[in-house]
Structure 1
Amino acid sequence: MKTVKMVWAVAVLLLTSTISYGQDTEKAKALLDEVHRKVKSYDNIFVDFKYVLENTAENIKQETRGDVTIQGDKYLFNYLGATKIFDGQRVITVIPENEEVVIESPDSEDENTITPSKMLTFYTDGYNYSWDIRQNVRGRQIQYVKLVPIDTHAEAKEILLGIDVQTKHIYNLIQTGQNGTRTTITVNSFKTDQPLSGNLFNFNAGKYEDEGYYIIEQ
């Protein structure tokens, strides 16, 4: 009789855990869907962010900031002293330190890489997700969703995506790599539907040639 009761208790526990896991997955999906709809509703988005890379085993910690303007698939990305532009057809990287411009096809980028144009929507494909902790960050309620890549060979082991419960905007992203490296991107400023110059995403090769830049087309 005790054995029957024990089996029954274990079965109930497993069933309850499965239901709870399913509900958590549904909640996570619903929140991510809402964030995605919100992002897609804007004509353009400007994000100023802080970037921190840490690897305690290697005694590495790097901090920097950057900003990106996104309109559809196009973007203008300023980071580490360089500017990267996607005009809809080409990825142009301007590196003032080397007086160099590199022009590439977007196909040259790894499909698993979170590019500037995908940084606010990357989570819609290629991940399993689950409901995680909620934190109060200076009065803002930040709900975390854990993302685990379906591709077992992906560079990321897992990603925690922090979402502002009120605005449904992404607050931060914490990525843990397979090698133990932890990358944190925190949004300092998030602006939408800003007036943009009509040539913001255009690249003027002549301007850089006149300034003595070496232009490399790959």
Structure 2
Amino acid sequence: MKIIKTLSLIFLTLLIPNAVIAQNDNEAKALVKEVLDKVESYDNFVIDFTYSLENKEQNMNQETRGDVSIKDEKYVLNLMGTTQIFDGEDIYTIVPEDDEVTISSYDEANNEQITPSKMLTFYQDGYRFKMDLLQDVKGRKIQYVELIPMDSNNEMKKILLGIDKQTKHIYNLIQIQPDNTKIEFRVTKFKTNEPLSAKHFQFERSKYADYYINELD
């Protein structure tokens, strides 16, 4: 699912390593490092979010809600009636509407598969960081950092990362595409160190006995 791929990319912006922000605007570098350090201090985190897509010229305006839980390399993403689980080895995409589960092994060389480590590579490949606007959003001070692609053929014109200056958590992330389509991910709830069970990031096949299991490998 393209939306799941885009959202995985957005969520994992939280895990940008120091190497990514080297040789960029020093103030932006320091702020993003604060976000990184804070996120790395958590055992896990759970995010509720809204995802919107807008293109005024094409009269397009869509919005949906979802949630994601992340621990190290593992994640569970719920969006548009679909659940995607990555247990560290395999990716499970569960579509109740079709009574189908698709299972694929994670392949580090496959650019279509999304994991936190793959997203780190994405941001190392040609983005510069600089400070942007500071905005007051319902009493919260949101500092934006602009990510500028070095490659003119990049599918993104620019990316704006909104950071809550008080909590040092991500407030939102906005992607602007060359055709001026705007994709926004906005955090509505950010919970940390949740009491997630040992099975939370595991696919339990017995729950889907009536589903068609499509094993790609």
Shared fold per TM-score greater than 0.5: yes
> Number of residues paired by the alignment?
193
Q: Which residues of structure 2 form unaligned runs of 5+?
A: 1-22
Aligned to 2:157, the other structure's residue is in SS state: strand
Match of 2:34 in 1: 34
Q: Which residues of structure 1 form unaligned runs of 5+?
A: 1-22
Distance 2:25 2:38 in 1: 20
Distance 1:106 1:151 in 2: 28
Which one has the bigger helix percentage? 1
> TM-score when scaled to structure 2?
0.80
Distance 2:59 2:115 in 1: 28
Distance 2:119 2:193 in 1: 15
- Partner AA of 2:167 in structure 1: T
Superposition RMSD in Å: 2.5
Q: Which consecutive aligned stretches of 4+ in structure 1 deviate over 6 angstroms post-superposition? A: 118-123
Q: How does 1:54-203 map to 2 (within 5 A)?
A: 54-107=54-107, 110=111, 115=114, 117=116, 125-126=124-125, 127-203=127-203
179 and 88 in structure 1: CA distance in 2 versus 1, 3 angstrom threshold:
same
Distance 2:29 2:122 in 1: 10
Are the equivalent residues in 2 in contact too, given 1:44–1:192 (CA < 8 A)?
A: yes
Q: Which has the larger radius of gyration?
A: 1
Are the equivalent residues in 2 in contact too, given 1:120–1:170 (CA < 8 A)?
A: no
Q: How does 1:205-216 map to 2 (within 5 A)?
A: 205-208=205-208, 210-216=209-215
Distance 2:89 2:74 in 1: 9
- CA positional deviation for 1:104: 1.9
Q: How does 1:5-44 map to 2 (within 5 A)?
A: 25-44=25-44
Instruction: List per-residue Cα deviations over 1:113-143 (Å, max 9, x = no partner).
Output: 8x57479978863320111000011111000
- CA positional deviation for 1:91: 1.1
